[in-house]
Structure 1
């Protein structure tokens, strides 16, 4: 490939590292730009804006979440901590010599699509460079989304991205708004440390234990039996009802959707604290009045500190938004990877799914690199597919109609579609050992 086909990768986090290794494997020239001083993205707590807090752990288990050919250490627990994940990211970068391809402390400030499809990239260093392809791997949890309620709250109210330690709750009456996995984690911290703790939920949810039958829940799901989705919903739903009982007894609302129709909440620790009275469940907020929070069920509480675990706005600030199509505030990419209108624009990490991300990132990165290589040879066969194909990636699940689920995919359905694409273009799947030749060192092995 010529120098004019060089690839610009934005971000040295989990997605960017996966893509860098894939580009190395296929011999495609590239540069990675990382605005921070180290790899790891959000998992590096010294990275300004990182949402990681003391009690943060993976919600998928180590055996289902690692990169291809690079398992997490045996000494890691089933669900590694944030510190362990960052250490794993650093070891991964060192093992494959990725750092020499990353410019640290340099941000991509602006990109301009040229008439020939190439990209003029302006860097924070003041340099301007030209690239044949642009891959956005900057992550999605950097731009907090705050809720808007009637009235004025005169206590302290901030987004969960600012939360780091349960010490922040001592001596305070605390309300957590939002029941995603981070919201539930933080609510558990509040239950332990606050004078009084509450969690506000818009709807009822299904709470999945991190372990089923003594092993991680995603290991059970991956091992089978692989039931039709409608049957899996019924079977696992019945198991959860046996394990958790009627959640309305804890003040939670009855779910208004079936299992898997929202992003799974892997946290039954919250149920423990609700059952012990260390935290109380509330409905959605109706309005504020000073430090009084009124809820839609008619109740009210005096609150000192509100933590809003209300998600993030997905942004690609260095690319003209008009170059993307958008759905529910998220880039609407073919297979969550390919721009439907700009053949040299790609994204990695702009998706949510119900399975471990990093193995999937490797498969996705391989598709991106193979597509870049095919296009460099003048093969436009994939262009027509990208422009016209609208595969059903729901796996038969009717996801709730929230913005969060606008680009959500069911992991098995997604993998089946990847397999179809590979077969269509004669691209082999990733095999065990396919990255071994790239190894330059492994600190863990040396230790």
Structure 2
């Protein structure tokens, strides 16, 4: 695939989480020189809670199963449970980096202050004040580093404690307290379960109704059942409509005081959790609609009910940010950069973003496929470079496949996973690129003794 020598293509990747590491591997595979800047002392991104600003808590687990969640050529081991926790994931990502020699190109303990366009390239200044020049810049700094706090009436007068869920680490923080968790994402549901098990009283508030999806369907991990056409046991008939299937398995959560779901199951990011329904059915936690206001030590909800609360934890999401690049270099919509195929800057040919995308699927294979196209663009020359540049500027595929997603900042960059995969495949085929396989990166693989050394 390489059409340039390493001296012609020098790629700066910011961030050594999963997306930055797969980008480094793809760039090396393409024959480019690559440097990865990582401000933390090891790779792994958010999956290392010692990484300052990481939102990872002790009970955090993957919501996709180990069967679908590995990298190309590096699946999760059979010894992993169906849904591994953060410690296994952190170590798995580090083993991935060691296996493919990626530590060799990562500058640990070195962040990026700024990256500036200069003479068709980039001057990158690190946190030690040193500057280097690169031909291409890939922003892979992740999307869960800038907490978004709500602005409910009376919040500034609340006499209890309130903070963002990114500060939460362990369920013991809830001991002896009346706790309200606000937010319907997967981390909010996890933390609500921790509150249910440890707080004196626990409440879970959401602004709209959601369906909670079980992690197993008839004993098979959810994503395996869906992606491999799982079948129910003999004699069992299930609805074809996903919403009807979930409602049949879980029931209507509005019976627990939560708002009734106002959208179809696939119109929002899936909440995959078994424990929250258990705690709701046993009275360990009470469901509540959205917060209306706070007053003193009391929270009032939109249904008029009130609760005395000691601690409010806001699991209200994160803002996307690329702080080291002039924001005017991107077009922003609902706080998200507008990008071709959610990775290519449409106007600046050597500027990319990897990882700023949402879909109802395991992420790492998709990141690998996106990185392959970025690496191709990095080394492409002549007519092929011009053709891809023209696609970036003019092509506007429907990446949602006709799906309607709820109107929220999180869903601004949401795509339908199969539609997105087809779009990536169409670009590969146009330029004669082979689809990634489990052997694509074998040439970069290190043997165990070499890794240890």
Runs ≥4 residues deviating over 4 A: 375-378
Partner of 1:109: 113
Report the CA distance between 1:2 and its aligned residue. 5.3
TM-score by length of 2: 0.94
Distance (whole Å) between structure 2 residues aligned to residue 168 and residue 178 of structure 1 = 18
Report the CA distance between 1:46 and its aligned residue. 0.8
2:188 pairs, out of 183, 186, 191, with 183
Verify: 1:49 aligned to 2:53, yes or no: yes
Unaligned segments of structure 1, at least 5 residues: 227-231
Partner of 1:194: 199
Report the CA distance between 1:242 and its aligned residue. 1.6
Partner of 1:131: 134
Distance (whole Å) between structure 2 residues aligned to residue 108 and residue 123 of structure 1 = 4
Cα pair 2:242 2:266 within 8 Å, conserved:
no
Report the CA distance between 1:45 and its aligned residue. 1.1
Report the CA distance between 1:315 and its aligned residue. 0.3
2:284 pairs, out of 271, 278, 282, with 278
Cα pair 1:285 1:296 within 8 Å, conserved:
yes
TM-score by length of 1: 0.95
Cα pair 2:158 2:295 within 8 Å, conserved:
yes
Query: How many residues matched?
Result: 440
Partner of 1:143: 146
1:99 pairs, out of 100, 103, 109, with 103
2:244 pairs, out of 238, 247, 251, with 238
1:212 pairs, out of 217, 225, 229, with 217
Distance (whole Å) between structure 1 residues aligned to residue 138 and residue 382 of structure 2 = 15
Distance (whole Å) between structure 2 residues aligned to residue 239 and residue 440 of structure 1 = 45
Distance (whole Å) between structure 2 residues aligned to residue 188 and residue 369 of structure 1 = 42
SS at match of 2:278: helix
Distance verdict in 2 for CA 1:122–1:4, change over 3 Å: farther
Report the CA distance between 1:378 and its aligned residue. 7.2
Aligned 1:308-319 pairs, distance under 5 A: 308-319=314-325
2:379 pairs, out of 344, 369, 373, with 373
Distance (whole Å) between structure 1 residues aligned to residue 271 and residue 407 of structure 2 = 17
SS at match of 2:68: helix
Deviations 1:337-389, CA, capped at 9 Å, x for gaps: 10011111001001111000011111111010011111488721111111111
Distance (whole Å) between structure 2 residues aligned to residue 120 and residue 56 of structure 1 = 37
Cα pair 2:224 2:230 within 8 Å, conserved:
no
Aligned 1:255-274 pairs, distance under 5 A: 255-274=261-280
Partner of 1:229: none
Report the CA distance between 1:431 and its aligned residue. 2.3
Pick which of 370-379 and 260-269 moved more: 370-379
SS at match of 1:33: strand
1:164 pairs, out of 151, 154, 169, with 169
The root-mean-square deviation of aligned C-alpha atoms, in Å, is 1.8
Cα pair 1:4 1:130 within 8 Å, conserved:
no
